[in-house]
Amino acid sequence: TQRDSLHTAQLETQLGKFWETKKQEDTTRDEAHAAQLRELEDHHAALLQAAKTDAEKLSAEKTVLEGQNQAGEKREEALRAELGQRDASHAAEVDKLTLSSTAREDTLRSEHAAATAELVKSHARFDHEREEAHAADLKEKLAAQKGRFISSLTDAA
């Protein structure tokens, strides 16, 4: 019937409008989701770029620190070598001074022994000369006394 046809036409119009509205809502929602997805992708790309930049900075810092560490290790090796050379030089100087001191002590002992021997000789010579002088003096006195004794005997005779 006509009424049914009209009713069907109305339902079809309403259904068409419903689907049209539904399509618009779906399209709007899809566009909103697409915009959110683009924002998330942009944000993700920015995070990846920031992470990459941080990684590059950390790598550069690591390279600098490794260089400083190597320089520090080389400096430490140089200081150890210098310290070893100083120790060896010091030990050689101590040995040299010890040998020099020992040689000087030996020289002083020899000089002391020679001086002591010379002093003993000098004392012995002095004692001998004094004894000879004393003996000569006694001989003179004895000769003088003998002379006086003979004179007194001669005078008495």
Secondary structure E strands in the chain: none
Overall pTM surpassing 0.85 (yes/no): no
- Over 80: is that where the pLDDT of 46 sits? yes
Name residue 18's amino acid. Answer: F
Residue 105 confidence class, pLDDT cut points 50, 70, 90? very high
pLDDT value of position 103: 94
User: What's 76's DSSP letter?
Assistant: H
